[in-house]
Amino acid sequence: MAFNSRSNSSRQQELLARLSRLHITTFKPGEAIMAILHYFKDLHCPNCNRTSNFQLLQSSPLTERRPIGGERFKWVSSTKIFRGLFICSDCNSPLTMDICSRENGPSPVKPADDIYAFLNRLKLASVDSTTPSCFRVTIDMDNLGHDLDAYFTIIKKYPDAGDDIPDDLPELIYRHYVEYILGASSPSMIVTGCRNTLEAVCKDKTGSDGKLVNLINKMTETGVIPEALKQWAHTIRIFGNEAVHDSSKFFSHEEAMEIKNITRQLLEFIYSFPVRIERMRQSKK
């Protein structure tokens, strides 16, 4: 039997081209659904106290009041602000968030009026089966869930655990705060994370290594923090040393939250407030 090598080659190329666009595998229904959902990554979950990805299950536009002449107005659905129900990828707990399209940022779809359809990827056919089973599914890699941070900012979270990350942190300090403090799984680990974060701040602001007690004093001498905040920093250091070096010492949740709050306020004073004040000054020029 004769084979057409050119025809076989063309088929192989076509098959490879298709495979480059498609990923074919076996999923459980829930896994297939989660793969197509949009998400925010590296957010703190107030339920499991982990740094997790949050996938969007459903969203609805908030309503806005628009004047229609005189003192009359009407309520219309916003095309920029949405309230979404998200789910933590670690503990599967729900979290509601209000999100807003980034000002002058890219739009995930064109025209922008289709953004509601873009956000809501779950359809009735996706969730009409309650019997766990496996099935063969083809997923277009271009249609996998998108990182929503490129298109939206988070306005509000419900429940709000008060764990918003301080603004304008350097990348290293940000990672310390998210991974070692927000991502800690026990009170003692939170206190240890606060000490580690403080040490990273001292090295960033003094440009030198050494014992933490000396680095804190150096930050005061160079004007990074005033004398009053030096006592805050030493409190974090003392509690952190106990968490690291005293294996018989355990901290309560309340103690850990106090140390975390002090650490957060210290970071805001050092990094967030100067940038915020400078922005206010620039806006007056």
Look at residue 29 in the predicted model and tell me its pLDDT: 46
Cα distance between residue 148 and residue 146, in whole Å: 6
Q: Average pLDDT for residues 231-239, to the nearest whole number? A: 96
Look at residue 207 in the predicted model and tell me its pLDDT: 92
Look at residue 165 in the predicted model and tell me its pLDDT: 83
Q: Average pLDDT for residues 225-248, to the nearest whole number? A: 93
Mean pLDDT for the chain overall: 81
Look at residue 131 in the predicted model and tell me its pLDDT: 55
Look at residue 264 in the predicted model and tell me its pLDDT: 94
Look at residue 22 in the predicted model and tell me its pLDDT: 44
Percent of the chain with pLDDT over 70: 77
pLDDT at 100 over 60: yes
Tens digit of each residue's pLDDT (9 = 90 or more) over 151-161: 998 888 887 65
Q: Average pLDDT for residues 60-79, to the nearest whole number? A: 85
Tens digit of each residue's pLDDT (9 = 90 or more) over 167-185: 899 999 998 998 888 878 7
Q: Yes or no: say if 256 and 188 are a contact pair by the CB < 8 Å rule.
A: yes
Q: Yes or no: say if 216 and 230 are a contact pair by the CB < 8 Å rule.
A: yes
Q: Is residue 113 very low, low, confident or very high in pLDDT (cuts 50, 70, 90)?
A: low
Tens digit of each residue's pLDDT (9 = 90 or more) over 248-268: 888 988 899 899 999 999 999
> Which of 79-88, 189-198, 244-253 has the lowest average pLDDT?
244-253
Q: Is residue 5 very low, low, confident or very high in pLDDT (cuts 50, 70, 90)?
A: very low
Q: Greater confidence, 95 or 12? A: 95
pLDDT at 1 over 60: no
> Which of 7-21, 96-110, 141-155 has the lowest average pLDDT?
7-21
Look at residue 82 in the predicted model and tell me its pLDDT: 93
Cα distance between residue 62 and residue 12, in whole Å: 50
Delineate the domains of the chain, giving CATH numbers in brackets. 21-158 (no CATH), 171-283 (1.20.120)
